Amino acid sequence: MTAPSRLAALAALLLIQPALAFAAPVTPEAIESATYGGGPLPPGQSALTAKAQVMLDRAGTSPGVIDGINGGMSRSAIAAFERRSGLPADGQMDPAVWAALLPFAGGAMITDYTITDADVSELTQHIPNDYLEKANMTSLGYTSVAEKLGERFHMDEKFIGVLNPGVALTAGTTIKVIAPSKPLRAKVARIFIEKATNRVAAYDAEGHMVVNYPATIGSAETPSPSGTHTVRAVAMNPEYTYNPSINFTQGENKSVLTLPPGPNGPVGTVWIALTKPTYGLHGTPTPSRLFVNESHGCVRLTNWDAEELAHMVQPGVTSVEFLEKGTTIADIMGEASGVSKSVQAAASSAASVATQGGAGVAVLASSRAPAPRPADLVAGGAVTQPATVTPAATPAVTTSASPAAPSAATSSGALIPPAAPAATTAPTVVPPAPTVPADGSATDPLSAAVEAATTGADVVVTEPSATTPLLPVPTDGAAATAGN
């Protein structure tokens, strides 16, 4: 192509896509001052889209990672927000949608955060792909400070670099981060897995949508289940049992393996087990790729969305309904009517939470090192939490730990991470007899242990410690595993 031809092509591109050619830099100041003037959100990455994503996140209609990019997850979040607000769900920003989002715009969009020694420590140097190599590790933790803080503040790790160009993420450095509000809290009665939109919606007993998340829902080779099931148990920061005789085969691994816990594990930081054996909702190590990746039949959410949902489901009560393509939530629930109390509370507290520099942001369980593993489940006996814990091979379970204290704010608005919660003694739980699926196969150890401890508890927390590296063990085909 000659020089004049190249210039003509460039001129044509500038005429066709001026917004892309002259896109303003995305800075903390630009996000704070961004105003909506009508029309759809700009293409590509923009401060206005970042601001809209923060408001959607605070409203409980998650855009997934906040990155300022007008992509599929953001458009699906707008559509979910429109559905909950009784607006036409076309996934496009318009004056009516922006007006409905404004109650969640109070206070600062961005806040200061000073990186601590704990943030730069307890990192995992490398996460291998092979499951046997993972099983011989002690933790599948964060591999960088950016990844750790990105999950804490619901951001894509690359977006931290966008807001802090040239800034080294070292202890003592103050950086700019998103200021999300604290997690929503409600009792969820029904969950819908909408396969056509790759979204997960949770409703309260009054029929109001509480939260709505982007998700990876199965694949063509290993589709998610159909029909209606029930939440059976919840485990936080769980180990993962790989059994190729039950589910998929990973690489050349033919033996049962137990992978250590961590946010970069196959199920992330949360496992919400269903009454459908081996299926559940769980976290993911790759939150920015929810609409790109495929799963082995389970439903993947971002770790922070999965943790929020885990504290709202009711084991034995909350139903999970898989909607096939061609069936929408509106077909089941009708048009939106009213707003849940938890969403109303989130809107009323958005300004105060954000103004305090993100003081309502709780540190994720996945942001901390795994706590010491509780004692083994004793057959026919009780689960107890001894003062001194001996590492064991069986996944152990305690009842829900006290939630992390919210971060405090300095006079300058910077966040100070909360101190670690004081150790508590777990109550005694008498486990029921293990559940055996109709096909005669036994439930996997993790699900069996979690199910045993969920009697009378809303959330069960599995907190393994560092473990002895595992060697492959023979598979007898008896144990079931959780899909991912």
What pLDDT digit, counting tens, does each position of 286-332 carry?
999 988 876 768 999 999 999 999 999 999 999 999 999 999 999 99
Nearest to 251 by CA among 141, 394, 135: 135
* pLDDT level of residue 123 (50, 70, 90 thresholds): very high
Nearest to 286 by CA among 127, 123, 459: 127
Residue 22: which H helix or E strand, with range?
none
Specify the DSSP class assigned to residue 423.
P
**Would the pTM count as exceeding 0.75?**
no
* pLDDT level of residue 335 (50, 70, 90 thresholds): confident
What pLDDT sits at residue 186? Answer: 94
* Size of the chain in residues: 484
The amino acid sitting at 65 is V
Among the options 229, 282, 296, 311, which is catalytic?
A: 282
Worst-scoring range by mean pLDDT, 45-59, 99-113, 153-167, 325-339?
A: 325-339
Beta strand ranges found along 139-269 (DSSP E): 174-178, 190-194, 199-203, 209-214, 216-217, 227-236, 240-242, 257-259
User: Is the pLDDT score of 208 beyond 50?
Assistant: yes
The answer to whether the CB of 299 falls within 8 A of the CB of 224 is yes
Mean pLDDT of 331-356: 70
Among the options 208, 229, 296, 298, which is catalytic?
A: 298
**Model pLDDT for residues 17-39, shown as the tens digit of each residue:** 444 434 689 999 999 999 999 99
Mean pLDDT of 152-165: 97
The answer to whether the CB of 106 falls within 8 A of the CB of 351 is yes
Helical ranges in 157-272 per DSSP H: 157-163
| Bridge partners (DSSP) listed for residue 194 | 199, 323
Residue 40: which H helix or E strand, with range?
none
Q: How far apart are CA 53 and CA 104, in angstroms?
A: 11
Annotated catalytic residue 311: no
Within 10 Å of residue 275's Cβ, how many Cβ atoms?
18
What pLDDT sits at residue 341? Answer: 76
User: Is the pLDDT score of 221 beyond 90?
Assistant: no
For residue 414, give both structure tokens.
């910077």
The answer to whether the CB of 231 falls within 8 A of the CB of 276 is no
Name the 3-class secondary structure at 346. Answer: helix
Whole-number Cα distances in Å, 439 to 232, 478, 481: 18, 11, 14
For residue 128, give both structure tokens.
């291998």
Nearest to 247 by CA among 208, 219, 269, 279: 279
What pLDDT sits at residue 276? Answer: 95
**Model pLDDT for residues 275-285, shown as the tens digit of each residue:** 999 899 999 99
* pLDDT level of residue 391 (50, 70, 90 thresholds): very low
Worst-scoring range by mean pLDDT, 46-55, 74-83, 212-221?
A: 212-221
Q: First CA to last CA across the chain, in angstroms?
A: 50
Name the 3-class secondary structure at 261. Answer: coil
Specify the DSSP class assigned to residue 45.
B
Annotated catalytic residue 282: yes
Nearest to 65 by CA among 302, 282, 352: 302
Q: Cα 374–233–64 angle (5° rounding)?
A: 100
Whole-number Cα distances in Å, 162 to 159, 223, 383, 428: 5, 37, 47, 49
Nearest to 155 by CA among 170, 176, 177, 134: 177
What pLDDT sits at residue 85? Answer: 94
The answer to whether the CB of 309 falls within 8 A of the CB of 211 is yes
- Give the domain ranges of the chain: 190-342
For residue 426, give both structure tokens.
């777990």
Strands 240-242 and 257-259: antiparallel
Exposed, middle or buried, 408 (CB in 10 Å: 0-12/13-18/19+)? middle
For residue 203, give both structure tokens.
């409703």
SS3 for 351-407 is HHHHHCCCCCCCCCHHHCCCCCCCCCCCCCCCECCCCCCCCCCCCCCEECCCCCCCC
The answer to whether the CB of 314 falls within 8 A of the CB of 187 is yes
The domain covering 190-342 belongs, at the CATH homologous superfamily level, to L,D-transpeptidase catalytic domain-like (2.40.440.10)
For residue 403, give both structure tokens.
């939630």
Q: Please count the CA atoms within 13 angstroms of the CA of 278 that sit on its side-chain side.
A: 23
| Bridge partners (DSSP) listed for residue 408 | 416
